[in-house]
Structure 1
Amino acid sequence: MNSLIKPVGSLALVVLLLSGLTSFSTNSPELVPEPTNDVPETNHSEWDNSTPETSEFNISVKEGDKEDPGIWVSPGDHKPKVIVEEPAPPVANFTAYPLSGVVPLNVTFNDSSSDAEEYSWDVDGDGLEDSNASDFVYRYDKEGIYNVSLIVTNKDGSHTKVVENCINVTANPSLSIVKLTDGYDVDDPSSYEVEVGSPIVWSYNISNKGDVPLTNIFVNDSVEGPVGVIAYLGVGEYNDSLNLSNTSVEGVYQNAVTASTTYDDVEVNSTDVSYYFGVNASIDIESSIGDPVSDVQIQCLVFEWTYNVTNNGNVDLTEVVVQDNSSSISIDRITVDADNILEPNESWVYSASATTEHGWNEVILANVTAYYNGTEKNFYAFDEVLFHYVGGT
């Protein structure tokens, strides 16, 4: 007797383990327009009494209707075994490596879910999909602690896995600035000397020593004021386009330059101090005769006077020489100084004498020279004095 198996309900996966099944077929509207108990022999599976090898079939079964009446089988002496599998929704799972590091941080995400067919990743915690691949690499360019979620789906459902504080990305923003004075990195006040009144040029070398790009870097000099702004400085880059200039002043000059910006509301800065020493190699000579434009009447054959030589600069002077334009005048230093160094504000006295004759009209131009032996070069000091005398009877 033929029998009709007509399952009721939704679509399910059915495995028929049939013994002795030689063929089976599905009725179609063309073959069986209306299912009845009298099914033609050509439209059902036939069974025999032999014991053939067992075969396994996966078939989809749905409720029969007029157009698709279902599947017809002839069981004979063997009964088909029907196994209905339960729905198998996916289970989300994943691995990530590394879980921490400094920006820019590349993290590899690998799916380890069960029965997943589709994927949706949010790895930066912004609620937006970052990838729909099963495995991928994501680059973190900003410091932070990130939640990671994976949603997997298949025909039977979906599942979400969320790992809070999964990825820890740190940043190390760092700046470096070097201030050059006339091209020299001067860290010692006495190591670079310039003559007072000469031009000075400062240049600034700003480098990004960290692992994140920096923007809007302000450069300011503690004495000279604002230097400029660097709009962008990438990792490992440097900028040496900024400079200032001025005229050197006397003595030790010290100023500090600072480069500063912020990264994620954290202040990033660097400071460098620079120096120079303004040399004032200066000397003064004065005559005891007095007003250099006055005529002095000399009433004796031997005329004597003095020169007073003073270091009115800020450095020690050596090789001090006093001379004049007349070969008839003898000059000798009266002041005794064992080290022969004319120090700042120190004075030496020189005696001078000349033999006169009646009617002599003499214009004396005396001068003094000296040197300061600097660390890099010598500085020259010079002064002169003019006076006039007339030989009497």
Structure 2
Amino acid sequence: MKREIMHRSRTKAVVSVLSGLGLVAMLLMGALSAQAATPPEPTYASANVDGNYGEWDLVNDFFADMYRAADPTKKVESKLYVRYDCETETLYVLVLAVDGVTVLPEPDNAFVKLGNAITLVNGNSGDDGTPPDFAWVMSNDDYIGFEASASLAPGSYNNLNVHVNVDDGGSQTSAVADRAILLDLLCTAEPDICVEKTALDNNVDPPVTLHYEYQVCNPGEVPLSNVDVTDDTCDNVQYVSGDTSPANGKLDPGETWLYTCEFLFEGPSLPGICVVNEVTAEGQYNGQTVDDTHYAVVHCYSPPEGGIQILKTVDLEHVCPGQTLIYRYEVTNLGDVPLYNITVNDDTCSPLDGPSGDSNHNNRLDPAETWIYTCRYTVTGGEPNPLENRVIASGDVMDDGQVVDTVTDRDPAIVQIVPCPQVAVEFVPEPGTAVLLASGLAGVAGYASLKWGRRPKS
């Protein structure tokens, strides 16, 4: 199944705070509300219950505050983060104490329940890799929270009860509001997969070994199992990296896995495009298979005609809509007579800047001389993918003031258009200003950067 991937442009706002707190507070609170999670639905992803919460996103996965004695009018002493894997019907919970508070390692008082009667997991559940699982989270020698998993069928629950005892100037209970909050495990999100293929070689002269790189991503909101990547020409596709958050053998939402492949291309060598091949990536979720395809092209080397040669390079192999590519063109006279009336035309990028390199300023491309041109092109997202464009250079051979021959050369460049990074909002206060946070006023002695990123939820 081929499909067109719609790429969202990256949005990045940078606000420099020059004076006053009102504008900062308004913008900051607006950003927080725009980027916060949307309970009662959790993030649809998995986690490792091992006491290391590095795979958790403390913005996207935030679910609820936990108050002293479960009373919303009292202080927040810990935070609740929730994920759910619809495929395995597993609920994942992370509880972290707020700054200045530690967790008391009391197994009976660290739990996830439905109401007060049904215990899903607690500190006595152990950690054998099968739900229910439990692991304390520590920082140095301090207990600061716990991770847990439990089996729970999809549905809507109005009595999620998460609790831990903390040390906050003495032993205190910390729990979700009224020990019963809403939890919707809807599992209505559709799985999705995307693949981008890049040929790392171009202008080849066979026989030659061709190298390919594949980026397989999950733009959906549910993890994919049994990910398979096949190339219709290159049959030894190898996984390289990417399964990191967590390393669970699943292509989680927002993850990108890298694969490579190489094969010996023996010809024939034809001017222009001589190898076109396609990759297919597949993944599964709840018995449903999703796939995506992408092709790459490799050009065979064409000897320059009559002594002129142009070599075209680009500064990026992958680009997302809104980014700017910088093309560089090197035009060289390989012959033994000067060339006049040099023209360089790119079928996509214009105008070109240059040339530089006419060292004797005679406006002729002398033998062995190289002129340099550049061009900047901003990708819109509406271009064919991969973005392939060609440049043509030409020059005239003159005799007694008359054009007796015109020589030309061509060279392509290929760039893969990929999805942009997730939306980010960045605030950069000036030195000496103050930022109004939810917890009060915080003086900023130097530049501070606060960033939020969020996957959209259905």
TM-score (norm 2): 0.28
Q: Highest CA radius of gyration, 1 or 2? A: 1
TM-score (norm 1): 0.32
Bigger relative CO (Cα 8 Å, ≥ 6 apart): 2
Question: In proportion to residue count, which structure has more strand?
Answer: 1
